[in-house]
Amino acid sequence: MHFRKISELDQAEGFPPPEHPLISVHQLSESNNALKNMEIMCDFYIIALKKLKSGVILYGKTQYDHDRGSMYFMKPTQRITVVDMELKEKGFAIHVHPDFLLGHPLFAEIRQYSYFDYQANEALHLSPREEEVMWSLFRKMETEYHNNPDEFSKSIILSHLDSVLKYAQRFYKRQFIDRKPLSGITVTQFNQCLNAYFEEGAVEKGLPTVSHMAAQLHLSSKYLSDLLKAETGKTALELIHLYVISEAKNMLVGGDRSISEIAYQLGFENPPYFSRLFKKEVGMSPKEYKHQILK
């Protein structure tokens, strides 16, 4: 099942509709096993603390090492398979759409956390003290999430989310001091190459091509696309497009550049092609999107 909206996943898991269409915060109990046998893909981030009594979680094609861990970090378009999952204790789940991060430093920073990627696909094992830290931050998010929203609500929620991610980075570093992370390096390197390509500037180089990305990773274009399709459900070209559209959204919201300027900065030689691709992926033109968000 491909969940494009957070409300769709919440409904499938038996939760009430989210307070906000781009974020939801829920406590889990032993009875939350609605998705116990299913392959899913989501267009948003999932951060969860789950202690499994039994069952298996597959992240791409690799089994999550939940026997040694209890916290999971999954990014958009990752394929997740759940088999006979049963929880043994309470936990929590945070679902965050990338659009909720637009205009905030977390929009870019969240991509730098390798634990959302395949190179560190072991679950995070929390000590009792570390678990208390995560629960404390979650409860603060939960309280603010259920409060009547005002002009400070979003920034407060994101500040707590930022702390969750930073503490996770610290705890993972502790966990992996004496252990090698499970492999899945190609997907990680693909994302790193994309980040580097756009950080260096795409104005002169144009849009990254599949053949260019494959050459950077010393793979054939066909093999790279087949590998990414198997692990993420998306081809290399689709992932490039998703990355570009995500960057475009942030530029549309975070500044006063024209649509043509944004198109050229992202490597498009033809702004109308940029607008067509944006509308295909988002369902509305860049101009309509910017008007809706700012409104």
pLDDT tens digits, 221-254: 887 888 788 777 788 999 999 999 999 999 998 7
Q: What is the mean pLDDT of residues 168-186?
A: 66
Q: Which residue would you say has higher pLDDT here, 126 or 55?
A: 126
Tokens of 93: 């789940």
Q: Percent of the chain, pLDDT > 90? A: 45
Bridge partner residues of 91 (DSSP): 28
In what helix (H) or strand (E) does residue 21 lie, and over which residues does it extend? none
Helix (H, G, I), strand (E, B) or coil at 82: strand
Residues whose CB falls within 8 Å of the CB of residue 190, separated by 6 or more in sequence, listed in order: 213, 217, 224, 228, 236, 239
Give the C-alpha separation, 229 to 236, whole Å.
Answer: 8
Q: What is the mean pLDDT of residues 63-84?
A: 77
DSSP annotation string for 115-162: GGSGGG-SPBPPPHHHHHHHHHHHHHHHHHHHSPP-TTHHHHHHHHHH
Give the least confident one: 98-102, 178-182, 197-201. 178-182
At which residue do the structure tokens 């404390």 appear? 136
Q: Percent of the chain, pLDDT > 70? A: 89
Domains, the chain, ordered by start: 2-175 (2.60.120), 185-294 (1.10.10.60)
On average, the pLDDT of the chain sits at: 85
pLDDT in tens, 29-72: 877 666 677 888 899 999 999 887 777 777 665 666 655 558 88
Q: What is the mean pLDDT of residues 137-152?
A: 93
Q: Which stretches does DSSP call E strand in 124-279?
A: none
**Confidence band for 262, pLDDT divided at 50, 70 and 90:** very high
Does the pLDDT at position 120 exceed 60?
no
